[in-house]
Amino acid sequence: MEKQQLHTLLAQVAAGSVSVEDAALALREAPFTDLGFAKVDGHRALRQGAGEVIYGAGKTPQQILRIAQTMQAQGQERVLITRLSPEAAAAVGAGLPLQYHEMGHIGILGDLPAPATPGRIVIATGGTSDMPVAEEAALTASFYGNRITRLYDVGVAGLHRLLAHLDEIMDANVIIAIAGMEGALASVIGGLADCPVIAVPTSVGYGASFGGVTALLSMLNSCASGVSVVNIDNGFGAGYLASMINHPGGAEA
C-alpha cells in the first residue's frame, strides 16, 4: 500500500464510504506476500515512500515476472528492475509491458514520472567504460522523479573536458561521480562543487585496480569535503541516495 492509497483509505473512512472494519482489514493484510521463493514487501512504500525494487541478477525470468506481477497487484504502478540481463528482459517483456535499457541493465514497468523537484542531479563519468554504471544511476534517479544531466567521459586524463562543464557542476543539487582506474574524478569534482558528491568506484581498470578496490580506497580517502562513497559498481545505490538528497521531503514511486 502506497502513501496515497493510505490517505485515500483514511479519507473514505472519514467520509463514511468505507467502514472502520473494512479499513482495518485492508491494513491487516500481510505486509508481505509469500511466493515461496520470495517475500514481496507490499508495505515498503508506506514505510519509506518508495516501493520495493527487484534485483534481477541471480533470479530466473519466471521469478522476476511473478514478483513484478505481485507488486503491481498490490498497487505499485511503477516497478524498477536492476541488473536485468537482455535474455531475462526478453522473457519478462513477453508477459509484461517492459521498457528495457540495455546499457544500464535496467527494466522499468510503467511510465517514468515527471520531475518532482526543480533540483538537478549531475552524473559524471571518468570514461566511456563507466557508462553502464552511470546509466544504472541515471535511470534510477529518473525513476524517482529527478532531473538528470549526464556528463560522460570527463575524466582527469583530460581535465579540460570537465572544466568545460563548470556551469552544470555549479548548478547541481547533487553530483554522482563515477570512475574506475585510480578514481580521482570524485576528489576533483568535490573540490569544485558546493553540493553533496556521491562517489561510485567502478571495476574498470587494469590489474592493479583490483576490480575497483583501488578506486574505492582512493574515493574513501578523498581530501575533498562533502564526498560520500557507495560500493563498487553500485549505480543503483548512488541514484537512490541522490534522489533522497534531491527530495528532502520524500518521493513516492
Q: Are 141 and 80 in the same domain?
A: no
Residue with cell 553533496: 196
Does a structural domain hold residue 82? yes
Q: Are 209 and 103 in the same domain?
A: no
**pLDDT tens for each residue of 33-63:** 777 888 887 777 767 777 789 999 999 999 9
The burial of 160, by beta-carbon neighbours within 10 Å (0-12 exposed, 13-18 middle, 19 or more buried), is given as: exposed
The burial of 96, by beta-carbon neighbours within 10 Å (0-12 exposed, 13-18 middle, 19 or more buried), is given as: middle
pLDDT tens, the chain, 253 aa long:
556 666 777 788 888 888 888 777 666 555 777 778 888 877 777 677 777 899 999 999 999 999 999 988 888 889 999 999 999 999 999 999 999 999 999 999 999 999 988 999 999 999 999 999 999 999 999 999 999 999 999 999 999 999 999 999 999 999 999 999 999 999 999 999 999 999 999 999 999 999 999 999 999 999 999 999 999 999 999 999 999 999 876 555 5
DSSP-derived secondary structure for 67-103? HHHHHHHTT---EEEES--HHHHHHHHTTS-EEEETT
Does a structural domain hold residue 201? yes
Give the pLDDT of residue 23: 74
**The three grid cell numbers given for residue 211, joined into one nine-digit string:** 576490480
Give the pLDDT of residue 29: 59
Q: Are 128 and 235 in the same domain?
A: yes
The length of the chain, given as a count of residues: 253
Q: Are 186 and 223 in the same domain?
A: yes
Does a structural domain hold residue 114? no
Give the pLDDT of residue 249: 65
Does a structural domain hold residue 251? no
The pTM (predicted TM-score) of the whole model is 0.85
Q: Are 40 and 26 in the same domain?
A: no
Does a structural domain hold residue 63? yes
Give alpha helix (H) positions in the chain.
3-15, 20-28, 44-48, 61-73, 86-93, 131-143, 159-163, 166-171, 185-190, 213-220, 235-246
Q: Are 168 and 238 in the same domain?
A: yes
The DSSP code for 2 is -
Q: Are 163 and 238 in the same domain?
A: yes
How far, in Å, CA of 125 to CA of 106, rounded? 18
Does a structural domain hold residue 7? yes
Q: Are 128 and 198 in the same domain?
A: yes
Domain boundary residue among 39, 74, 109? 109
User: Domain with 205 in it: what CATH number?
Assistant: 3.40.50.1970
Domain boundary residue among 87, 109, 131? 109
User: Number of folded domains in the chain?
Assistant: 3
Does a structural domain hold residue 252? no
Q: Are 87 and 142 in the same domain?
A: no
**pLDDT tens for each residue of 94-110:** 999 999 999 999 999 99
Q: Are 166 and 219 in the same domain?
A: yes
Q: Are 174 and 234 in the same domain?
A: yes
Give the pLDDT of residue 50: 79
Give the residue from 121, 126, 106 showing the smallest Cα distance to 202. 126
Give the pLDDT of residue 77: 85
Q: Are 78 and 38 in the same domain?
A: yes
Quote the mean pLDDT of the chain: 90
The burial of 85, by beta-carbon neighbours within 10 Å (0-12 exposed, 13-18 middle, 19 or more buried), is given as: middle
**Which run of H or E residues covers position 198?**
strand 197-201
Domain that holds residue 203: 120-246
Domain boundary residue among 109, 142, 157? 109
